[in-house]
Amino acid sequence: DAGVIQSPRHEVTEMGQEVTLRCKLISGHNSLFWYRQTMMRGLELLIYFNNNVPIDDSGMPEDRFSAKMPNASFSTLKIQPSEPRDSAVYFCASRGTAQTGPQHFGDGTRLSIL
């Protein structure tokens, strides 16, 4: 069975541009998490969806960030406008219906804002 699929794997763009990161969940999973990872701060939860509904978005840095789940198997994280300090690796993870179950991570999108 395919794991969590993220695209693109790498993105380099100039500041001010819109960036869209994509994530396909594992089939049957109903929870979706977006994370940002940097050397200084490690993994930080940005937003958590359950059954397509945003449950906790307290980690979203500011209004420039937005996330959606247009359907049960797909999510996007958008940054508009992007800034150099947004440079990081962005991971999405999905989880099955058991709330204590493991999160399954994608391989991330390495984002560089010049």
Partner 1 sequence: KNQVEQSPQSLIILEGKNCTLQCNYTVSPFSNLRWYKQDTGRGPVSLTIMTFSENTKSNGRYTATLDADTKQSSLHITASQLSDSASYICVVTHTGTASKLTFGTGTRLQVTL
Asked if 26 is part of the footprint of partner 1 (rule: CB under 8 A), the reply reads no
Window 58-87: contact mask with partner 1 (x via CB under 8 A): ------------------------------
Residue closer to partner 1, measured from CB, 15 or 43: 43
Asked if 23 is part of the footprint of partner 1 (rule: CB under 8 A), the reply reads no
Q: How many residues bind partner 1 (CB under 8 A)?
A: 22
20, 68, 96, 105: residue in contact with partner 1 (rule CB under 8 A): 105
Asked if 55 is part of the footprint of partner 1 (rule: CB under 8 A), the reply reads yes
Contacts by residues 10-14 (CB-CB < 8 Å, ≥ 24 positions apart) = 10/109, 10/110, 10/112, 11/109, 11/110, 11/111, 11/112, 12/111, 12/112, 12/114, 13/82, 13/112, 13/113, 13/114, 14/113, 14/114
